[in-house]
Every structure is written in C-alpha cells, then in structure tokens.
Amino acid sequence: MAELKKKLGKKDAQTSISDLASRIHFSEKEGRIWLDDQRMVLLHSSALGVLRRELIDSFGIDEARGLITRVGYNSGSHDADLARKLRSSATPLEAIMLGPKLHMLEGVARVEPVRLDVDVERGLFSGEFNWHGSVEAEEHIHAYGIGAGTACWQQVAYASGFVSRFMGRPVMFREVQCMAHGAPHCVIVGKPVEEWSEAEVDLRALRADSLTSGLSVANRPAAAESPQSLLDDVDVVGVSAGFNAVCHMVRRAARTQATVLFLGESGVGKEVLARSLHRISPRAQGPFVALNCAALPEELIESELFGVEKGAFTGAHTSRPGRFERADGGTLFLDEIGILSWPAQGKLLRALQEREVERVGGTKACKVDVRVVAATNLDLREAVKQGEFREDLFFRLNVLPIHVPPLRERREDIPVFMNHFLHKFNHRDGRVVSGFTGRAIDALLAYHWPGNIRELENLVERGVVLASDEGAIDTTHLFVGGESVEGEWLTLNRDGSLRATSAAVQTEAPDPCATERLGQRVLAMLGEAKDAEITPLNEVESALITSAMKRTNGNQSAAARLLGLSRAQLMYRLKTLQRDEDTDA
C-alpha cells in the first residue's frame, strides 16, 4: 500500500472527495440531482435491499445476479466517462484511482487500495482493493443473514466497467472475500478477462443472453485458436444495455416464424445478428441464404430472387433456382432491402403473401417454406411517405422491427471490440502488438464512429499493421485516413474551478512552424544566448530521458507518455544510450 501511495504521489491527493463533491448539483425547482452531466437520485439503502430480495426471490439467484451485475457495469462505465473528463492529462493509474473516490462519494463503501499495477500499452493490469462497510453486503446480510457466497455483485461489476474503459480491453474483478460470508471486510481483485481461469460464472452474469459472449470471446479456446471478424461470424460480443436489449429481441424472435426487420446504420452488425437468429431458431438445420440487394443490378434482382428457366432470355442456357428456393426450409436474409426497385418490391410482396415463387420464364408456381429476415439502414417509413417504397410491402416486413443502436450510443462495448479485433489481427498476421496507448484509448472512445463496428475493425487492423512489434497502437497509427476526433474535457483552473475545453487528436503532419517554435522554446529553456554554445542534440535527448525515468521511478511506459513516445521508441533510445555509454567506457 505504501508503494502505491508513492506511485500516485501528490497528484492523487489533489483530487480529493471534496473536489469531486463540488461536481454535485441540486436543483430544487426541477427536482433533479446532477453529478457533472449525469442525472443522479438519492435512494434509501433499505430500498436497494428490498429490490435485491425481490429479484432473488422472483427470478432466482442466478438471474438476479445477472441483472444486478449489468446495472453495476453500466454505472461504472458512465463514471469512467466523468473521470476521463476530469483527469484528461492524468496517467491511467491516477485516473483509475478516481473510481474508488467516486464509489465513496456515492455512499457505496469506504475503499482502501491495496495493490495497483497498470501498464496500458502492454495490456497489463493487476489490482486489489478492500471495501469497508459495503452497503450491498450489509443489505444482503439483513435479508438473508451470513451465508457461503459473495454478495457485492453490483460493486464488483462497477469496478470492471470503470477500469475496462481506461485499459482499452475488458478487465474483470472478482470478490475473493465478503462480509456476507462472515469476513471483517470485502476484498476484490481485478485483472484482464483472459487471465482468469474458471470465470464462467462471473462472465455469464455479464451476458444478458446466451446469444452474446459478453465481455470477450477470448476466454473460449475455439475463439482464441481461430479468431474471426465479428461481422463474419456468429460470435457476438458486447455488454451495453442497448446491445443486450437487441439480444433479448433476437432471442424472442428466434422462437417464432415472424418476419424480422433489422434497422440501423451501416456497419452495426445487422447481418451477424440475422445469422445468429437463424442459428438459434428451429430452422437452424436448414440453409441460411443471404442476398445484398444493393450489390446486384436491377435487371438481375428478379432472377436472383426467384430463379430462371432455361431459355427465358439470351444467355439462360440452364435452369437454376433462385434464392427463395435455395433457402427452402431455412432463412432468407435480404440486406439493403430499401433500395429494391418498385417492380421488384411488387414481386417480393407476392412471394411473401403466397409463399410461392415463379421462375423467370417459368409457367408454374413453386411452393417455398422460407422465413424472411430483412435489413436496411434507411428510414422505410419516410421512404413510404416519399413514394419510394411500397406501403403494403413495408407493413409485410415490419412485423417485428429490431433497431440496432450505433456504436457511439453503446460506448461500453468499444473496449470489448478493441480487444476482440486486436486478438484477431495479431493472430492472423503473426504480430505481437501489446495493446493501445492511453492517447489511443481516449481517441477511440471520443470518436463519433460514422462507420460503426466495421470502421472500428478497420482502424484496429490499421493499427496492428503500423505499430511496432511488442509495442502499443498509438493515435498516429490509427487516424491517418483524414478522421477527425474531438472531445469535450474539463480542466481545473488555478482557483479550483472547472472549465470546459475542446481537445482534438492530431491526424495530420505536424505544422513546421509549430515545430520551429518548439525548438526555440527548448533552446530558451536551456538558457541559450545569441553567442552561446549549442548543446548537442544527443546530450539533450539523454538528459530528457534520464529525467523522465527518474520522475517515473523507472517505469518505462509512464516515462514514454511524459516524452510523447511509444514504449518501443523509448526502449530503443534507452538501448542506444546504454550502447553509447559502453562505447565511451
């Protein structure tokens, strides 16, 4: 514990509970309480106990634990956003320590840090905390007495959600000691998901539905041996409330024969959800046939959907079945259905109503047993109003609409996807990229993601290609395609007040004039007079590196952040300096 206090130094003491408490605002007229920009409520601890007991008695302990766990993860992720704003210039270690302080400010427990080792760029995290007076444990004891299991489900998940945001990969905490089974206080231990063994119970609680793999698929051997792209595989990861709601809808839809319409922006994973729906439905043994309506010219749509008879037109040398016939007994997925031409819409409507198709050039109808699942990124209701989409077809497709939220509305899932794709491309390309720098994690969480999951996958792939072996992905590896990243941050003034500032990630080459000005400032700092002798560059570099290493007690990752370098770049310079010293000796 003494070593941890030494690591944190004076900076951590500056952000005390009173500093955070100044962010709480009460509006008597509006009946609202705010913690920075997040609305809060005061709730009796006994009410939490009643809710907890009702959930356990009504749904069983496993279901209740899952619900309470997911609430905690969501809360921790939201508090991490506040911490990111307050300590935008802090090291991950310092920023992570805001979590325990927010926990105490919110009246959950008194948190005592025992051990905390963080290296974001290498993906290393190991932490241990003591909780004194846990409200969750106290209420559990009040309702059920001392038992054999742990009880602080919400608080443990809060820690997981909070820390995962700063690490850029899923970190899971586990309660190893609890007041609920007679211990004097509660103890939690956290580390990356992949490092836990026999953690299925903990991970299952974070999955709202077995359709999703929750925090990560990395704990499953098959996925680790052959990782695949999320958009090409039935494995789905995510823990956000919006994502879990979609999984529930998919699960309910899979039990029926209803037509499903997936709505959402391009790249949110509509096809992978459609494939998952088929996989868990009674039609799983039948074929899954997909057709991207936007990928075919208008004159071929009809033959692709319904098939063609030999001699129906020039070039039709053989008869062939269409997608409806090929999907008989299974599922037909029609992607980008909003762009279908008016004639094609009419023929599709008839096929859906009559459950039969007629090949182009054919003379008889063929009965088909097909479940249709469609997807579009267009507003079909607006298209109906504009006369661009048939109203009767829209109502036929809109039996069970499922809206898939964009990635920017479920930022809790971003660290999960970052980890998922990093493992995938490391394995595919034989790379050993260790993780992401703090700057890269901040930028990825602040980015608007117009291309959603597909764009995130492409950026991580780009980062793996450009980053050095055993190094970390930085912003200079990610945002080289003209992307613009801006975020709102809070800065502490000298008088203790906070002001909002805008921060942007540099995505272009540095300004030569700015570089020249920087050089002038360095010379001024070295006290250069007009006729003074200029200090050689290698001596300046050596002095800066030595100073940074002393300031961070030899922590290479922290020193690299101070110098604006990647860890690999700093290690290269350290080896060069050591080699020069050996040569001089």
Please state, in angstroms and rounded to a whole number, the distance separating the CA atoms of residues 435 and 557: 12
Please state, in angstroms and rounded to a whole number, the distance separating the CA atoms of residues 505 and 495: 28
Residue 498: both structure tokens together:
């906070």
Strands (E), 338-434: 356-357, 366-367, 371-376, 400-403
Please state, in angstroms and rounded to a whole number, the distance separating the CA atoms of residues 584 and 579: 9
Q: Is beta strand 472-473 parallel, antiparallel or unpaired with respect to 435-436?
A: parallel
Cα torsion 111, 113, 114, 120: sign: positive
Please state, in angstroms and rounded to a whole number, the distance separating the CA atoms of residues 583 and 585: 5
Please state, in angstroms and rounded to a whole number, the distance separating the CA atoms of residues 331 and 506: 46
Please state, in angstroms and rounded to a whole number, the distance separating the CA atoms of residues 526 and 157: 50
pLDDT of 498: 43
- Partners of 400 in the beta sheet? 260
Residue among 486, 487, 414 at smallest CA distance from 457: 414
Residue among 185, 193, 235, 182 at smallest CA distance from 215: 193
Please state, in angstroms and rounded to a whole number, the distance separating the CA atoms of residues 241 and 78: 12
End-to-end CA gap in the chain: 40
Residue among 66, 48, 69, 68 at smallest CA distance from 157: 69
Residue among 95, 97, 20, 404 at smallest CA distance from 245: 404
pLDDT per position as a tens digit, 95-154: 888 888 888 888 899 999 999 998 888 888 999 999 999 999 999 999 999 988 899 999
Q: Which residues of the chain have pLDDT under 70?
A: 1-19, 87-90, 208-235, 311-317, 361-363, 484-536, 566-568, 581-585
pLDDT of 464: 94
pLDDT of 5: 58
pLDDT per position as a tens digit, 477-502: 998 877 766 654 444 444 444 445 44
pLDDT of 55: 92
pLDDT of 220: 45
Please state, in angstroms and rounded to a whole number, the distance separating the CA atoms of residues 456 and 237: 14
Q: What are phi and psi of 447, to 5 degrees?
A: -65, 150
Give all domains of the chain, ordered by start, each with its CATH number: 2-206 (3.30.1380.20), 241-404 (3.40.50.300)
SS3 429: helix
pLDDT of 311: 56
Q: Give the helix ranges, DSSP H, for 118-205.
A: 135-144, 153-167, 200-205
Please state, in angstroms and rounded to a whole number, the distance separating the CA atoms of residues 462 and 130: 40
Please state, in angstroms and rounded to a whole number, the distance separating the CA atoms of residues 287 and 128: 50
pLDDT of 505: 45
Q: How many residues does the chain have?
A: 585
| String of DSSP letters for 307-349 | EE-TTSSTT--S-EE-HHHHTTTSEEEEETGGG--HHHHHHHH
Provide Rg for the chain, Cα atoms.
Answer: 28
Helices (H) and strands (E) in the chain, counts: 25, 20
| DSSP class of 225 | H
- Partners of 490 in the beta sheet? 500
pLDDT of 158: 93
Please state, in angstroms and rounded to a whole number, the distance separating the CA atoms of residues 435 and 121: 5
pLDDT of 463: 93
